[in-house]
Amino acid sequence: MRKLALIILPSFAILLGIFVGSYPTNPFNLTEGAVRIIWDIRLPRTLMGVSAGIALSLGGMTLQAVFRNPLVDTYILGVSSGVALGAAIAVAFLPFAGIAPLALLFGLLAVFLAYWMARINDRVSTVSLILAGIIVTALFSALLSLLELLLPSESLSALVVWLMGSLSNATWETVIYSLPGVLILAFVLFLLRWNLNAMSLGDEAELLGLNVHLWRGIFIFISALMTTLVVSFTGIIGWVGLIVPHMARMLVGPEHSKLIPATISIGITVMVLADVVVRLFPGDVPVGIITTLVGVPFFGYLLRKTGGGWS
């Protein structure tokens, strides 16, 4: 029954994403205008939601296993601040380059910088990596604030809206740049599911013959790359990487051969349905607002239930 639900829910969400919007579309009687709207706007927007749901959820799930803590996601490594700084630099100085390439570059740069700072005597501990992520986030956030002071009001307004996270700017081009890479990385994670199971044991994984520090770096890179492939196009969509993996664990348990498919299913469902909800509001409401409104109380529930530890 659970397997069936994990297939039906994302499929239903995708159908809603295709046919629900401000312009009425009857799936049993599609006009030429409705077909154009679906093909040009709703389908790429929904597929971008699929990409975001998979990437953010699996990125959070991977780091939660690596850090053995259900209250972390990829943003603790400075991804969000790096993407934001890259976007601001593009708006301020390199508008011809586009936001996405620089956002992707600086998102990965933030993670590499955090990992380099945390590497001491060829070893990277969980605590040092989290602290390095906090340092990088603070540095990049300060640089972002400085750039915001230099931007004209119109550019600043556009940047702030973009940083809130939205799927409204999705096109077939952004889908092509994002979704295939996300699917490939998701498949790689599934192939490495037994290593991820071992990593969730912490340093005890070394007793199984696993090079913990090497695999920690590999999984951090995969999760960071997966996340930046999405947020460099959509802006910062918070809380999905935090709440979805925990929902999946409550449903199927911590074993990653089951957890990865469940996380993908729930991630797609949550992300696409959140985007459907924002379409019901007048104007272009960023989907990041909806995920935050849902994620904050759920985070409070997690904190009280787990006490910030691995359950």
Count of CB atoms situated within 10 Å of the CB of 176 = 12
Nearest to 203 by CA among 124, 299, 279, 298: 124
Q: Is residue 267 part of a domain?
A: yes
CA distance 75 to 71: 11
Torsion over CA: 293, 68, 74, 189 (sign): negative
* Structural contact between residues 114 and 129, judged by C-beta atoms closer than 8 angstroms: yes
Each residue of 286-302: pLDDT tens digit?
899 899 888 888 777 76
Q: Is residue 311 part of a domain?
A: no
Count of CB atoms situated within 10 Å of the CB of 147 = 19
Tell me which H or E stretch contains 285. none
Average pLDDT, the chain: 89
Domain of 291?
2-306
Residue 306 confidence (pLDDT): 62
Between 78-82, 138-142, 212-216, 237-241, the lowest mean confidence (pLDDT) is in: 212-216
Portion of the chain with pLDDT greater than 70, in percent: 97
In this prediction the pTM is: 0.91
Each residue of 77-120: pLDDT tens digit?
899 999 999 999 998 888 777 888 999 999 999 999 998 998 88
Each residue of 11-47: pLDDT tens digit?
999 999 999 988 878 888 888 889 999 999 999 999 9
Residue 41 confidence (pLDDT): 94
CA distance 168 to 171: 9
**Would you state the torsion angle of the CA atoms of residues 301, 296, 50, 66, taken in this order, to the nearest 10 degrees?**
-60
3-state DSSP call for residue 120?
Answer: strand
With 0-12 CB in 10 A as exposed, 13-18 as middle and 19+ as buried, what is 148?
middle
Output the domain CATH number for residue 242. Answer: 1.10.3470.10
Nearest to 49 by CA among 75, 72, 15: 15
Residue 121 confidence (pLDDT): 78
Q: Is the pLDDT of residue 311 over 60?
A: no
Q: Is residue 300 part of a domain?
A: yes
What is the tally of structural domains in the chain? 1
CA atoms in the 13 A half-sphere facing the CB of 223? 32
Residue 304 confidence (pLDDT): 74
Q: b vs e for 92-118, b when ≥16 Cβ sit within 10 Å of the residue's Cβ?
A: beeeeeebbebbbbbbbbbbbbbbebb
Residue 307 confidence (pLDDT): 60
Structural tokens at position 9: 């829910």
